[in-house]
Amino acid sequence: MTDAAISTAYSQILDVIGSVEPRIAAATRQELEDQRASLKLIASENYASPTVLLTMGTWLSDKYAEGTVGHRFYAGCQNVDTVESVAAEHARELFGAPYAYVQPHSGIDANLVAYWSILAHRVESPGLEKLGAKNVNELSDADWESLRQELGNQRLLGMSLDAGGHLTHGFRPNISGKMFHQQQYGTDPETGLLDYDALAARAREFRPLILVAGYSAYPRRVNFAKVREIADEVGATLMVDMAHFSGLVAGKVFTGDEDPVPHAHVVTSTTHKSLRGPRGGFVLAQEEFAGDVDRGCPMVLGGPLSHVMAAKAVAFAEARTPSFQDYAQSIADNAKSLAEGFLSRDATLVTGGTDNHLVLLDVSSFGLTGRQAESALLEAGVVTNRNSVPADPNGAWYTSGIRLGTPALTTRGFGHAEFDRVAELIVEVLSNTQPGTTKAGGPSKASYVLADGVAQRVKDGSAELLEKHPLYPGLELA
């Protein structure tokens, strides 16, 4: 598609939207301008291609299609069947997986599908057989209550939030922490690295039904072959959440023992982070779990978002190209450049560096909380998110760190020199920020004071970088 065609398409779309609700059209235009003018370093965000974005804006949105391909609860789903089949085909080929399920609306939906599929496979089916029933509809109220208690009282072992795990890996306030009898594993207190021996010892003691691997803020790779050995030793099902690094798996940056797909029983992911697709989720599974995952609707999900499944198919197709592999390698290379830029300026990084797509900066060395650092950087046009560090004294709300990812700016074409400059700009902001005070005059964990002139100076420095690497080059709105 030519730049002129893309520009015409989006200009006309916004004109049509504006004819009904001009405030929405204006906010959409402004979002593009805001994204173009800021350094986006949120590790879970990226920029989807115009093709992916346009794919979502079609009449496929109008169709209900609960069920699975060829087995829908609504009539007239033949075109949705095609869309879902193509998306699943691309996902299987891209990741080398026996089975792919592309209906989940988000990462948490994908994880819920995975959890309940594993429970159904490991607990429900044996439980029904023990009770002499073929399905739950044949159970008496007393039998169902017994099975329900068994389903809801299984053990899950996942990485703790402050060590880099995700809310859905058993964090107590999250539904995953309420569904399961859960415990969490952390990292080595000295190095911040995953300690496989300690993980194995915890697994032997706890003996979980599900061992969850994967992360949202751990700046290192994982040896999934070792984690599978641990799971097998204790009879656990290995589930890997690769939402953050699925682009590095698709792009063949993570291979062998670092590729979770051959080693895990079930793998979940989003499509919009390093994979650079639409906002959504998917599940990959070995054959023994395929039938259970395929019951995602009605087990967990309702009607799939057909227009988003179409966009997933396009994104998966884009990720199967050689250029995407080059992009994925650049993500990892640029993360190293960003880390080196911080370390050369005496900043403190969790684990001392990175070998994936993200850097976790401990801002306590600047005398700040993560919330203060996040806010000061945003004032200077640098978009990040605060994040816990291991054994964080400030908890999950204020935190002591900020998480920085390279996928989005790599999409814009940033390289080694640009990411070194980004590190310099961030350090300039944090070095010139002081904690604020509360209304009572005490130290604040939220408010901050940024020295005069720093925000504009950093914005000017960012503008020089961004001008050389425009977002959606050639896209001009009328």
According to DSSP, the β-strands at 210-214 and 237-241 are parallel
How far apart (Å, rounded) are the C-alpha atoms in residues 304 and 110?
12
The one catalytic residue among 28, 45, 51, 64: 64
Residue 174 is predicted with a pLDDT of 86
Residues 376 and 461 in one domain: yes
Q: What would the pLDDT profile of 209-245 be if each residue is shown by its tens digit?
A: 999 999 999 999 999 999 999 999 999 999 999 999 9
Domain boundary among 277, 296, 319: 319
How far apart (Å, rounded) are the C-alpha atoms in residues 206 and 184?
10
251, 245 contact by CB (below 8 A): no
How far apart (Å, rounded) are the C-alpha atoms in residues 152 and 155?
9
Average pLDDT, the chain: 94
Weakest-pLDDT range from 98-107, 126-135, 151-160: 126-135
Whether 444 is in a domain gets the answer: yes
Residues 6+ apart with CB under 8 A from 133: 139, 143
Residue 64: active-site member: yes
Residue 420: active-site member: no
Q: What would the pLDDT profile of 319-368 be if each residue is shown by its tens digit?
A: 999 999 999 999 999 999 999 999 999 999 999 999 999 999 999 999 99
Whether 15 is in a domain gets the answer: no
Residues 6+ apart with CB under 8 A from 205: none
The one catalytic residue among 72, 228, 273, 403: 273
The one catalytic residue among 241, 259, 292, 418: 241
How far apart (Å, rounded) are the C-alpha atoms in residues 334 and 64?
42
Residue 289 sits at φ, ψ, to 5 deg, of: -105, -5
The more confident residue out of 222 and 179 is: 222
From the centroid of its chain, how far is CA 11?
30
Residue 146 is predicted with a pLDDT of 82
Q: What would the pLDDT profile of 56-84 be if each residue is shown by its tens digit?
A: 999 999 999 999 999 999 999 999 999 99
Whether 19 is in a domain gets the answer: no
**Residue 372 pLDDT exceeds 70:** yes
How far apart (Å, rounded) are the C-alpha atoms in residues 209 and 182?
10
The one catalytic residue among 55, 268, 270, 399: 270
**Residue 1 pLDDT exceeds 70:** no
The one catalytic residue among 29, 36, 51, 66: 66
Residue 340: active-site member: no
Residue 354: active-site member: no
**Residue 148 pLDDT exceeds 80:** no
Residue 66: active-site member: yes
Residue 266 is predicted with a pLDDT of 98
Residues 330 and 312 in one domain: no
The one catalytic residue among 40, 279, 386, 459: 279
Residues 229 and 335 in one domain: no
The more confident residue out of 152 and 4 is: 4
Residues 377 and 313 in one domain: no
Residues 230 and 275 in one domain: yes
Q: What would the pLDDT profile of 412-431 be if each residue is shown by its tens digit?
A: 999 999 999 999 999 999 99
Q: How far is residue 132 from each of residues 105, 117, 126, 291, measured CA to CA in Å?
A: 35, 21, 10, 21
Residues 74 and 215 in one domain: yes
Residues 112 and 234 in one domain: yes
Q: What would the pLDDT profile of 261-320 be if each residue is shown by its tens digit?
A: 999 999 999 999 999 999 999 999 999 999 999 999 988 999 999 999 999 999 999 999
Residues 95 and 151 in one domain: yes
Share of the chain above pLDDT 70, in %: 99
pLDDT bucket at 124, cuts 50 / 70 / 90: confident
pTM of the model: 0.94
Nearest to 396, CA basis, from 188, 240, 216: 216
Q: What is the DSSP string of 353-374?
A: S-SSSEEEEEGGGGT--HHHHH
The more confident residue out of 139 and 264 is: 264
Domain boundary among 319, 353, 369: 319
In three-state secondary structure terms, 206 is: helix
218, 160 contact by CB (below 8 A): no
Whether 17 is in a domain gets the answer: no
Query: Where would I find the beta strands (DSSP E) of 136-280?
Result: 155-159, 181-185, 210-214, 237-241, 266-270
Nearest to 114, CA basis, from 179, 53, 64: 179
